[in-house]
Amino acid sequence: MQNNPQKKHRLSLLDTGVAGFDEVLGGGFPRHSLYLIQGLAGSGKTTLACQIGFAHAAKGGKVLILTLIAETHGKMLNHLSNFSFFDEELIGQNILMFSGYNELVKGGLDGLLELITGMLAKHNADILIIDGFRSVRDSSPTTVGLSEFMLSLNSLVASMQCTTFLLSPTEGNVADSENTLVDGLIELSQHEKGMQLIREVKVFKIRGGKHLLGRHVFEVNEAGIVVYPRLEAISTAKKTVDSASSTLIGFGIPGWNNITKGGVNKGSTTELLGNPGVGKTLMGLHFIYEGLQSGEQCLIVGFYESPLRLIAKARSVNIDLSRFIDNGQLQIIWNPPLEISVDALAHQVLENVSERKVSRLFVDGMDGLLDIIMHIGRARSFLTAFVNELRSQHVTSFFTRELPYLGHQLPEKFDSGPSSILYENIMLLQYVEINGLNHRQIGVLKLRQNGYDSANHIMLISDRGISIGRPVSTEKLAQEIIKNNAINNEPQ
């Protein structure tokens, strides 16, 4: 059997050990290359590089950390000790720390390069981290001199088979020697919206790699840095294809199953659009309960009602969710729509769906989901990618969205919104006045792949759950007949 020449010459990749980062990089960093990690103070450069270093050292690799003008080694280790990736036993063994500032001041770029050469030759390092690389430019080298240094350093680390990271407090992909003569350029930045702020990473280039384009959100927590690859970029890269099924999924409400001729298609998305208090959440709970009783794995994602309140609401209409939560068949992810990352939430939901083989998902509060999308103009592309991922995993999903007023006409923003693109099915729940009283009504605005009753029907809520009554037009006609009979029977 002949060897595949493409596999024979394929670059070996360095696993970063940073959750989500390898996916952004296209599998990891091509080894034995020179990379520049840049970003303003506090962006997370040192944490990212050291997290990669500790992950490699934990597997037996040798890591050198060379500081120029940066925090002292003691302070650096003290700060890193707050993260779970930190292992003090690795310091002095697999992780060695040096200072190169004196060599830079006394010998210039030649002196620094000589120091690095000696370190790599003596310790046979796999990874080299140079922190405070701005000092190299601040040492006032000529443009030619800096270019020669970068070329020599790149050649050195390649010949010594040492993957090297330069950390610099700058931003932007500019035509400087540091940017053009490295094998990869990664930028850490921050995005602000009002008083909120999120951290982002962007890969400008990786020679020999196929990285995801654009910005990707990351968080710094007790584990260190966690990267959440942008869902739109992932979906585009792997060419996610949704599935189609003719199997019908019921709502758990017999009258509504009749109106929709059996329910909605498996793997489809449905929007429950309606006024506050009209019964959107209860309808979604009926949908989930129907699946639970059939033995399906289900998931609820909420923003406004806590799990305890949701369970109590379900119990008030004779739906017992507690036993399904206890046996793990139902899980609830709840986050008030405050300072949470939509990318982190999407990752949590899709991971839950994949691991538990979830077949029914109920997202209660699309408004809350939209509120945490910080970038203007991103909502449509993000939601499209999110819904496509759900469809590709054969998840039948319900989303509630609120109409903020009483009335019969939809506001303009809903006419031009993402509903017609995102959802195969749209149900409208509203209040209707009949003889001076507000009644709940429900109707189908859109239902793909099967026929339905186009009339608006009275929706009733009792302690036994939701039931569907007569068409609203019939109810109105009955009220008019009663009213006319009463007038005709009045004494003259």
**Mean of the pLDDT values across residues 154-182?**
87
Around Cβ 455, how many Cβ atoms within 10 Å? 14
Residue with tokens 């019964």: 279
Q: Please tell me the predicted confidence (pLDDT) of residue 65.
A: 97
CA angle 476-481-484, nearest 5°?
120
CATH for 10-229?
3.40.50.300
Residue with tokens 């430019």: 137
pLDDT digits (tens, 9 = 90+) for 37-79: 999 888 999 999 999 999 999 999 999 999 997 678 989 999 9
pLDDT digits (tens, 9 = 90+) for 213-270: 999 999 999 999 999 999 999 988 887 676 668 889 999 999 999 999 999 999 999 9
pLDDT digits (tens, 9 = 90+) for 289-305: 999 999 999 999 999 99
DSSP 89: G
Model confidence band, residue 356 (pLDDT cutoffs 50, 70, 90):
very high
Which residues fall within 8 angstroms of residue 259, CB to CB, at 6 or more apart?
A: 444, 452, 453, 457, 468
**What 3-state class would DSSP assign to 10?**
coil
The CATH 3.40.50.300 domain(s) of the chain lie at 10-229, 248-485
Q: Please tell me the predicted confidence (pLDDT) of residue 451.
A: 83
Residue among 125, 198, 199, 137 at smallest CA distance from 165: 125
**Mean of the pLDDT values across residues 342-362?**
96
Q: Please tell me the predicted confidence (pLDDT) of residue 178.
A: 78
Its pTM stands at: 0.85
- What does the alpha-carbon distance between residue 337 and residue 212 come to, in Å, rounded to a whole number? 28
Q: Both tokens of residue 425?
A: 């099915």
Model confidence band, residue 6 (pLDDT cutoffs 50, 70, 90):
very low
CATH for 248-485?
3.40.50.300
Instruction: Check: CB of residue 311 under 8 Å from CB of residue 459.
Output: no
Expressed in angstroms, the distance from the first to the final Cα of the chain is 106
Instruction: Check: CB of residue 193 under 8 Å from CB of residue 183.
Output: no
Instruction: Check: CB of residue 31 under 8 Å from CB of residue 11.
Output: yes
The residue type of 152 is S
